[in-house]
Structures are given as structure tokens and as C-alpha cells.
């Protein structure tokens, strides 16, 4: 049976991250949305997204054949009970939540409309929960880390904690093979701490869970981290970080504060860069909603959302509730604007696409990677739309 994760219906709610990747690839906690589904299904999944992103995923063959598949709303939070219900779907059946939101369909069709409609009366799954939008990922951050940690403890063998570390509640700490953790303070009394394969936590670091460090991630000396925080694979972390996510391959390697924020892939925060996460008045925060093209109130605490490939110059001062688009090269005096569009140069649009692609390629080389032609085409599509 083919399982296909669908993100088309809700993807605009996850801007700026879903502009350059499927929601299935978002990493909040130990695993990406796709990896989390695959663990519980015990099978690999395909991705069904919008046409200009589909080329990023080597699974387009399922769109051409008529073999029956189970299509799953990737924003639905997987649980063992939900997976059982999905596995029991008959051809033509679909599952919805108690509010009527689509969860899954067993179908031979390939058009989104037919997948959502299905043939038979829907089956209601009362406990269905969803990640509602980009900010909702932060709100569910702790839950994702805790659930992922439980799965890891049952299915993966870790290594012993080095005795040079100061540890509180060691049973709530898991270190993968190849990781190096020395002379750090690890306090897991407030939530689990997970250290991924071949990752490194340097001496003097202080961490309060819940916390995740992905494969080959590095936390530099004397860093202070408060949960819930995810430092994704190949990321570099330093300074002070609280309740934030670096999805993967991004750097916040120096002093400066990062709080209540999500940073996409291949981003860089220059030395001394800080973001505000609460107004001086402690009043409600307004944040730009790119899909709706309006400013919305998002609560009393919110840092920033930063799209893939965006970078900040040293000593950047980032305003409360900032929305940063894709592939922006950001610099400027004083507090930066709260809304910075795709392909910004400084604080105004003007980052030429050829230069942007060249610079991204340089950053990828620093970590031993090469930019694919498919990635370039995605950026060219977004640039043309913005022009």
C-alpha cells in the first residue's frame, strides 16, 4: 500500500516555510512531519504538494499510476489510534475530524478534489488534532518533543552520559551514538533532552529541556538554552536561545538572543543579532500574515518567522513579531522592519536571483552540500512571482 502525505489544502497557513518546501519536511522536535508519520505507519511515504514544489521530491510516479493509495493530511498529528483507523480504511472511504476537517482517504484518484470528496460517507475520528499554522508549530513544540522522545526510548539504543557533565534527571536524557557531550549542564527535570547522531555540545553549555539537537548539530561553548528548543541537523547554535526552532542547516553561532521564533533551512544570524519577543508595553503583538495580506494579533509573546535561505548581518536588531521571507540578505540600522519580503537586499526588495542563488550555493558549500537544479527552479519561480 502506498501512503501519500498531502499538504496542498493548508500550505498557505505555513508561509514563509511552505514557499520552498512541503509541510512534510518541517522539523519540529526530533523528527520532520514526514518522519513522524513513517515511524507510526512503519512504511515510507510519498509527498503530494503543489506543482512547482513537487519536483523536489522523487516520488512523482504515484501521480501517474492508478494504484490505490491512502492520502493523509500531513498537518494532522499522528497517533497510534489514528494510524489504526487509517490502516483499516476501505477503498473509497475517508476519515474526518469531529469538526469536519479532512484527515485521510483511500482512493485511486489523483486529483485533490476527488481525494477530499471520496465516494462513501466519512468516518469521524473524534480525537483528530491538527497543526493549524506556522505559529501553531511553536505552540505544539513541547508536545512534539515529548512524543518523539518516547518513541526514541522504545526503538533506539543510545550511549551513556559522560561523567564530566552535570546532569539532572538522567533518565530523561538520550544521547545517540557518535555524539560528544562534555562538561555541560543538562537539566531534564523540565522536559526531555535528546542529542542526535554525531552531534556535539561543547563545554560550559547549560540546557534546560525540552531540547533537541539534531544529527551533526553543534552547540558552542557557554551557550544557554531554555526549552522548548529544537536545533535541527547540521545547525550551529550559540548565545542565548529560548523556545525556538532551527529547522536544519542554519546558524546562530554567536552571542545574541533568539526567542519564540522559527528559523527555516540554510539561514544565518550574524554575531550579536538579537530578536525581541515581547513589547515594552507587554501589549498584544501584531504580525504580518503573508497568505491573507493583513496584520494579525498573535498574542503577547512572539519573536520571528524566518524563511529558508535568509541571512542577517552582524548586530541586527529584529523587531517583535517579525515576518521574514525567503532568500533575504538583511542589514540596516536600528530596529529592522517587522515585514521583510522575499528577496530583500538590506531592507528593500532588490536581491537579484542570480546573485541570490550564487550566495546560497556558497553557504551550502560551507557544510559540504550542493544546491540542486530543482531548488534553483523553485527560487526562480518565487522570484518571478515577486517581480
Considering the domain architecture, whether residues 153 and 248 belong to the same structural domain is answered as yes
Strand order in the sheet with 45-48: 45-48, 2-6, 69-73, 102-107, 94-97, 123-125
Same domain, 205 and 143: yes
The answer to whether residues 262 and 361 belong to one domain is: yes
The residue to which cell 530543482 is assigned: 374
Residues 59 and 208 in one domain: no
CA dihedral over 377, 383, 386, 387, signed as positive or negative: negative
pLDDT the model gives residue 256: 97
User: Of 85, 103, 131, at which residue does a domain stop?
Assistant: 131
The whole-model pTM stands at: 0.95
The answer to whether residues 296 and 163 belong to one domain is yes
Tell which residue, 367, 74, 321, 58, has the closest CA to residue 214: 367
- Residue 53, domain extent: 2-131
**CATH number, domain with residue 313:** 2.160.10.10
Within this chain, do residues 301 and 268 fall inside the same structural domain, yes or no? yes
Q: Specify whether 37 is located in the same domain as 115.
A: yes
Please report the pLDDT score of residue 31 as a whole number: 97
Task: Look at residue 100 in the predicted model and tell me its pLDDT.
Answer: 92
Residue 329, strand partner residues: 311, 345
Whether residues 201 and 218 share a domain: the answer is yes
pLDDT at 60: 62
131, 157, 190 - which closes a domain: 131
CATH number at residue 70: 3.90.550.10
Q: What distance lies between CA 163 and its chain's CA centroid?
A: 33
Please name the residue that has the C-alpha cell 533575504.
328
The pLDDT assigned to 175 comes to 98
Q: Pairing between strand 317-318 and 206-208?
A: unpaired
Last residue of a domain, one of 72, 98, 131: 131
- Asked if 189 and 127 sit in the same domain, the reply is no
pLDDT attached to residue 254: 97
Q: Render each residue's pLDDT in the chain as its tens digit; 387 residues.
A: 899 999 998 899 999 999 999 999 999 999 999 999 999 999 999 999 999 999 999 766 666 777 899 999 999 999 999 999 999 999 999 999 999 999 999 998 888 888 887 777 899 999 899 999 999 999 999 999 999 999 999 999 999 999 999 999 999 999 999 999 999 999 999 999 999 999 999 999 999 999 999 999 999 999 999 989 999 999 999 999 999 999 999 999 999 999 999 999 999 999 999 999 999 999 999 999 999 999 999 999 999 999 999 999 999 999 999 999 999 999 999 999 999 999 999 999 999 999 999 999 999 999 999 999 999 999 999 999 887
- Indicate if 191 and 335 belong to the same structural domain: yes
User: pLDDT at position 59, please?
Assistant: 64
- Residue-level pLDDT at 62: 66
Number of domains making up the chain: 2
Residues 158 and 73 in one domain: no
- Rounded Cα distance between 256 and 269, Å, is 9
Give yes or no: residues 241 and 152 share one domain. Answer: yes
- Exposed, middle or buried: residue 134 (CB in 10 Å: 0-12, 13-18, 19+)? buried
Nearest to 211 by CA among 229, 186, 187, 197: 229
Amino acid at each position: 500500500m502506498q501512503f501519500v502525505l498531502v499538504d496542498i489544502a493548508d500550505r498557505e497557513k505555513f508561509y514563509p516555510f511552505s514557499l520552498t518546501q512541503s509541510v512534510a519536511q518541517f522539523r519540529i522536535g526530533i523528527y520532520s512531519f514526514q518522519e513522524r508519520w513513517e515511524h507510526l505507519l512503519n512504511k515510507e511515504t510519498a509527498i503530494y504538494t503543489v506543482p512547482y514544489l513537487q519536483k523536489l521530491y522523487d516520488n512523482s510516479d504515484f501521480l501517474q499510476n492508478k494504484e490505490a493509495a491512502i492520502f493523509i493530511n500531513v498537518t494532522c498529528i499522528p497517533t497510534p489510534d489514528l494510524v489504526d483507523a487509517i490502516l483499516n480504511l476501505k477503498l473509497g472511504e475517508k476519515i474526518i475530524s469531529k469538526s469536519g476537517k479532512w484527515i485521510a482517504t483511500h482512493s485511486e484518484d489523483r486529483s485533490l478534489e476527488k481525494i477530499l470528496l471520496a465516494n462513501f460517507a466519512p468516518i469521524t475520528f473524534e480525537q483528530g488534532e491538527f497543526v493549524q499554522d506556522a505559529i501553531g508549530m511553536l505552540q505544539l513544540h513541547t508536545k512534539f518533543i515529548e512524543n518523539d522522545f518516547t518513541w526514541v526510548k522504545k526503538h533506539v539504543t543510545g550511549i551513556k552520559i559522560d561523567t564530566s557533565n552535570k546532569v539532572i534527571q538522567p533518565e530523561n536524557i538520550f544521547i545517540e551514538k557518535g555524539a560528544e557531550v562534555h562538561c555541560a549542564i543538562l537539566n531534564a527535570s523540565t522536559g526531555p533532552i535528546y542529542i542526535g547522531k554525531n552531534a556535539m555540545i561543547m563545554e560550559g553549555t547549560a540546557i534546560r529541556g525540552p531540547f533537541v539537537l539534531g544529527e551533526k548539530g553543534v552547540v558552542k561553548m557557554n551557550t544557554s538554552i531554555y526549552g522548548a528548543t529544537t536545533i535541527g541537523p547540521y545547525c550551529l547554535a550559540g548565545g542565548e536561545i529560548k523556545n525556538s526552532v532551527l529547522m536544519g542547516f542554519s546558524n546562530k553561532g554567536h552571542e545574541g538572543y533568539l526567542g519564540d521564533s522559527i528559523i527555516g533551512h540554510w539561514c544565518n544570524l550574524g554575531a550579536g543579532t538579537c530578536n525581541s519577543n515581547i513589547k515594552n508595553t507587554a501589549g498584544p503583538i501584531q504580525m504580518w500574515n503573508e497568505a491573507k495580506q493583513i496584520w494579525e494579533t498573535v498574542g503577547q509573546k512572539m519573536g520571528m518567522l524566518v524563511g529558508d535561505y535568509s541571512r542577517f548581518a552582524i548586530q541586527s536588531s529584529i523587531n517583535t513579531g517579525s515576518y521574514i521571507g525567503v532568500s533575504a540578505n538583511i542589514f540596516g540600522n536600528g530596529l529592522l522592519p517587522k515585514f521583510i519580503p522575499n528577496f530583500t537586499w538590506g531592507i528593500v526588495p532588490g536581491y537579484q536571483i542570480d546573485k541570490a542563488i550564487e550566495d546560497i550555493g556558497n553557504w551550502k558549500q560551507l557544510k559540504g552540500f550542493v544546491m540542486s537544479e530543482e531548488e534553483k527552479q523553485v527560487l526562480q519561480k518565487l522570484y518571478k512571482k515577486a517581480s
